[in-house]
Amino acid sequence: MPVQLIHQRFRSFITQLGEISQLLMESIGSFRHQRPSWKDFLYQLQFIGVKSQSVVITTGAATGMVLCAQTFLQFHKVKMDTATGAVVSIGMSSELGPVLAALMLTGRVGASMTAELGTMKVTEQIDALRTLAAHPVDTLVVPRFLALLASAPLLTAESVVVGIVSSWWVGVNLLGIDSAYYLVNMTRYTDPPDVLTGLIKSLVFGAIIAVVSCYKGLTCQGGAEGVGKATTEAVVVASISILIINFFLTLFLSRLFYS
């Protein structure tokens, strides 16, 4: 029966992809029917944006320092020590910053969103919302979607800046790279499109986290076990989607900016 199983899995995958796309379109289309609630948006912005800072800063700093050390160790062999700053800066701005910040947000924010909406689903709170003539997308999805769209680029920028500063500190104080050369090479080789690439990616990743997490929460079934399963699936699906889409975004944006 493996063919049947593959067919079933493929069908389920296509159905979910369709439903996630539909949720995305409904979230965008929601503005025609209902103005988003400022109160809910600000609450989500505080939860997603403000409270995720420690996680994102730590990730950025750790990544910047490790990347600096590894790059230096390799470049030192060919006497290119001062190019370390450029590699770290471009890597952090366009790839590692947005991807790692998005993965951390998936774990911290996406999981929490799915668990919250999933619990609301299994305790009939979402049905209650519907009986009160409130659309779940307008009330629950849109504030989270907007808050993630606003927070993800800012958190990514924060992560990138912290990563670059910490790599500079490691490079200059622990590895003995000359500060002036480090900074000059970094600014010479890092172009605005590198930074823009990272910010565009973070915007797309924010949308993915919001839509996948909300979808998994809203379609959660069963009791506590169902909520747990939906939360795990949300983190896995969002993380894998981010990694795969990152590759295509890299190709697309590099063509857009450098061709």
Residue 53 amino acid letter:
Q
Binding mask 29-48 for another protein (x = CB under 8 A): ----x---------------
- Decide if residue 131 touches another protein (CB under 8 A): yes
Query: DSSP of 21-70, one letter per residue?
Result: HHHHHHHHHGGGT-PPPHHHHHHHHIIIIITTHHHHHHHHHHHHHHHHHH
- Decide if residue 4 touches another protein (CB under 8 A): no
Please name which of 78, 62, 65 lies closest in space to residue 172, comparing C-alpha atoms.
65
- Which string of b and e fits 30-66 if b means at least 16 CB within 10 Å? beeeeebeeebbeebbebbbeebeebbbebbbebbbb
- Decide if residue 250 touches another protein (CB under 8 A): no
Question: Which range binds another protein by CB under 8 A, 15-23, 88-96, 124-132, 163-171?
Answer: 124-132
Residue selected from 53, 125, 250, 254 as contacting another protein according to rule CB under 8 A: 125
- Decide if residue 246 touches another protein (CB under 8 A): no
Please name which of 95, 106, 91, 121 lies closest in space to residue 234, comparing C-alpha atoms.
106
3-class SS of residue 240: helix
- The residue among 134 and 184 lying less far from another protein, judged by its C-beta, is 134
Distance of alpha carbon 53 from alpha carbon 85, whole angstroms: 24
- Decide if residue 133 touches another protein (CB under 8 A): yes
Question: Which range binds another protein by CB under 8 A, 5-13, 46-54, 66-74, 134-142?
Answer: 134-142
Residue selected from 7, 9, 51, 130 as contacting another protein according to rule CB under 8 A: 130
Q: How far is the CB of 127 from another protein (least distance, A)?
A: 5
- Decide if residue 124 touches another protein (CB under 8 A): yes
Interface contacts to another protein, rule CB under 8 A: 33, 120, 123-125, 127-135, 139
